[in-house]
């Protein structure tokens, strides 16, 4: 799916949302959600392609698969929390958007704990005791 088509979809969604915002703001928010969802779903094949390549490269370099998996998980959490918080900001709810971003950060830290412990163990092992 080339970028021109995606930009066209986004702009037409935005224009439709502006038209609706004047009469029924609720529909404009729904339109915003749907347009962003459709744009993400249309870029799905490229995302799959990139992650497959990352997977094969990490296997070739015999990196630990769990680290790559954690990185991809963190990317997913970051994307989802950004998706949710921007939609809340579109709807004018800045407080809720901040809370979603805060929750996303907490989840990311929680997901990265194993890597942190691994690094710390490595450091402790190196330091001359």
What's the rounded Cα separation, in Å, for the pair 121 and 124? 5
Q: Which two tokens stand for residue 62?
A: 């015999």
Long-range contacts of 113-118 (CB under 8 A, 24+ apart): 114/66, 114/70, 115/67, 115/70
- Reading the block at residue 11, the tokens are 């702009």
Q: Does 26 bind another protein (CB under 8 A)?
A: yes
Segment contacting another protein (CB under 8 A): 18-26, 59-67, 93-101, 121-129?
18-26
Nearer to another protein by Cβ, of 6 and 89: the residue is 6
Taking CB under 8 A as the rule, which mask of x and - marks residues 91-120 in contact with another protein?
------------------------------
- Asked if 54 interacts with another protein (CB under 8 A), we say no
**Helices 65-90 and 44-60 meet at what angle, rounded to 10?**
160
Q: Please report, as ranges, the residues that interact with another protein according to CB under 8 A.
A: 9, 12-13, 16-17, 19-20, 23-24, 26-28, 30-31, 33-35, 37-38, 40-42, 44, 47-48, 51, 69, 72-73, 75-77, 79-80
């Amino acid at each position: 799916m080339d970028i021109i088509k995606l930009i066209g979809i986004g702009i037409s969604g935005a224009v439709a949302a502006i038209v609706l915002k004047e009469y029924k703001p609720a529909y404009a928010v729904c339109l915003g959600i749907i347009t962003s969802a459709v744009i993400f779903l249309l870029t799905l094949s490229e995302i799959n392609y990139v992650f497959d390549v990352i997977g094969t490269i990490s296997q070739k370099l015999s990196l630990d698969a769990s680290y790559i998996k954690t990185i991809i998980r963190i990317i997913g959490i970051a994307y989802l929390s950004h998706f949710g918080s921007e939609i809340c900001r579109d709807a004018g709810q800045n407080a809720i958007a901040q809370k979603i971003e805060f929750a996303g950060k907490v989840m990311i830290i929680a997901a990265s704990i194993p890597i942190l412990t691994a690094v710390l163990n490595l450091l402790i092992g190196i330091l001359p005791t």
